Structure 1
Amino acid sequence: MLHTLAIMAPIILLMGLGYTAAHIRLINREQIQGIGQLVMYFALPALIIRALTDNPLGETLNPRYLLAYGLGSALLFIPVLLWMQRRRSESLSSAAMYALGASASNSAFTGYPIASMVLGPSAATFLAQNMIIENLLILPAALIVAELGQRQGGSGLDLLRTIGGRLIRNPLLLALGVGISMALLDVRLPAPLDQVIDMLADATAPTALFAVGGALYGLQVRGMVGSVSLIVLGKLILHPLAILIMFSLIMPGETDVLVGALLFASVPMISIFPLICQRYSMGSIGAGALFTASLASFATITCLIALMSRYSLPPG
């Protein structure tokens, strides 16, 4: 128990600092968004590039890991999509948002800081691989389905062009492309630039947690407990369970890898979830789900880490 508290305490304190800073008006919402932009456009890309170039690409990108994590996430995405549309009579666009919230982790802002406390430097390798699944599989799938639900004319090519345009401007995807290219071509950056990459990468975890804590201030859940609960249950319970099943089938016995995958799967949904939901008239539900999942995850992640400690799963 003390080991679990030692891991979670810095995470809770950093998020608490962000929340307190917003509560006492030391920083406002626009400044919090600015901190988030710093993480999204500079610190996280630097971390991904470093993760992909510090070791041979074959050691960083594990095809079986990508397959297991991708299938585990899809194993949840598809049933949630179908169930929400057919059983609960949600529109196709709304059902896609429920499925996205349940199956896409906030690997960047929450997953990496937590995993780095448990796993150390190897957490960056998991982050790089999860970014591929989330940004090239789950997010595009959700956007395609949601746009299909909103379509009022236009060709399939227009739909793909719209979604492709959004994805190609994603800084994390660009960082993945740069990092993989550098690793394949064995490109080495000049020492000053390499040092800048290291400094930005090292700032990722504390800055991201501070930004998440600040963003939580002021969010409320009113009149949508049922809808929010479904998304939170899917994300914090069913997603880790789906990942556990797929890794047990595809990578049995590789406990170090399983620990990393479970830690990332157990965190709340992607931070831009409310913004994406807003386009499909689900902004309040998206914000409520993110708020509730962020609070509930303290308990669920603490329990997960305690269980892994009990069974000696965490490495080191």
Structure 2
Amino acid sequence: MLSVLAITGPIYLVVALGFLATRTGLFQRTEMRTFGKYVINLGLPPMLFNALSQRRLTEIVEPVFVLAYGGGSLLALAAGMYWARRVAGKPLSASAFAGMGMSCSNSGFIGFPVVAQVFGAPTAGVGIALAMVVENFLMLPLVLALAESDVAGADDGRTRGQRLRAALAQSLLALLRNPMIHGIALGVLFSVMEWSLPEPLGRAVNLLAASSAPISLLVIGGSLVGIRARGMLHDVGIIGAGKLLMHPLAVLLMVVLLPPMDVKLQTAAVLMAAVPMLGIYPILAQKHGHDSMAAAAQLGTTVLSFFTLSSLVWLLQQVPHP
């Protein structure tokens, strides 16, 4: 078990450091958004570029990973929305964000550091790139479109359908401005063309890429300061269980049912699904008035994930690999 804590312990120690630094006033909670912008715009894109540009195309194009991760995520989304809509009786927008909490991982800020600790940065970089394709081109546009369709006046199928299509188009167009998607596209281009950066530029890209993981973990910790979960423990518990247990199990089911792929990528897909929900979850939910629930769920899920992720890493170490 000590070997497992050697993997997960450093990750959550840095998260705790971010929390303490913000809680004691060294940083303001609003400054965490600035650090987050740095990671999204200047840290993760170079890391994704490095991971993809330095590998052959056959190593980074893995449709089975996309099918397994995407299929498992859709299963978790459907289950979360069913619980919220049919069991808890929530409106469609609240149901969509409950489903998002159970199915959209924080692959960049937590998933990458976890997989990098287990398999190293190259495998983690490919895993996060493939996961982000699923999250940015499928999950986020779908969930946001579902939430956007649940507005006053959208009470007939035709109006709601029109808003759903418009919201999907808007979400997909926003991808064109996403720096992480730019990093993935450039990495694939350099891999296909077998190009390499001039050494000075390559070193600069390496420096930026290396800063991504530690700063992202500090951001997660700092963002948890001030969040309260009182009065929402039932919903938080359901969403947390869906994210930390159901989502990885759904992805594992897809991995078992689909044709085999590299065992490291199989494990990476399950690990990516087992991390807490994406960091901007409360921000996305704020527009529809569900930010308190989302923030509380993020707090509870992040704390519990130390135990669930450590247990998952231990279980994966017990599985014999060929």
Compute the TM-score of the two structures, normalised by the length of structure 1. 0.93
Q: Distance in 2 between matches of 1:186 and 1:133?
A: 25
In the aligned structure 2, how far is the partner of 1:136 from the partner of 1:160?
Answer: 10
Confirm or deny that 1:291 pairs with 2:299.
Answer: yes
Match of 1:28 in 2: 28
Q: Distance in 1 between matches of 2:105 and 2:150?
A: 23
- Measure how far apart 1:254 and its partner are: 4.9
Report the counterpart of residue 90 of structure 2 in structure 1: 90
Specify the code of the residue in structure 1 equivalent to 2:167. Answer: L
> Where does residue 12 of structure 1 map in the other structure?
12
- C-alpha distance in 2 between matches for 1:152 and 1:56: 51
Q: Aligned letter for 1:256?
A: K
Which SS does the other structure have where 2:120 is aligned? Answer: helix
Residue among 189, 200, 205 paired with 2:208: 200
What is the match of residue 129 of structure 2? Answer: 128
On the 8 A contact 2:102/2:247 being kept in 1, the answer is yes
In the TM superposition, what is the alpha-carbon distance from 1:229 to its structure 2 partner? 1.3
Alignment of 1:223-242 (within 5 A): 223-242=231-250
Over 3 Å counting, the alpha-carbon distance change for 1:237 and 1:148 in structure 2 is: same
Equivalent residue, structure 1, for 2:117? 117
- Which range is displaced more, 209-218 or 105-114? 209-218
Shift of 1:306: 1.3
Instruction: Give the conservation status (yes or no) of the 8 Å contact 2:69–2:269.
Output: yes
Does the aligned pair in 1 maintain the 2:65–2:266 contact within 8 Å? no
1:134-213 equivalent positions in 2, closer than 5 A: 134-150=135-151, 152=153, 155-156=162-163, 158-213=166-221
**Which ranges in structure 1 are unaligned for 5 or more consecutive residues?**
none
Aligned partners of 1:5 and 1:184: how far apart in 2? 38
Q: Do structure 1's residue 244 and structure 2's residue 252 form an aligned pair?
A: yes
How far does the alpha carbon of each residue in 1:184-237 deviate from its partner, in whole angstroms, 9 at most, with x for none?
A: 344432222221111111111111111111111221111111111111111000
Residue 274, structure 1, aligned to residue 282, structure 2: yes
Distance 1:85 1:232 in 2: 17
Aligned residues: 314
In 1, the alpha carbon distance for the partners of 2:313 and 2:9 equals 13
Q: Which moved more, 1:158-167 or 1:84-93?
A: 158-167
- State the partner residue of 2:265: 257
TM-score (normalised: structure 2): 0.92
> What is the deviation of 1:253?
7.8
Q: 2: distance between equivalents of 1:111 and 1:182?
A: 24
In structure 2, the residue corresponding to 1:150 is in which secondary structure?
A: coil
Structure 2 unaligned residues grouped into runs of 5+: none
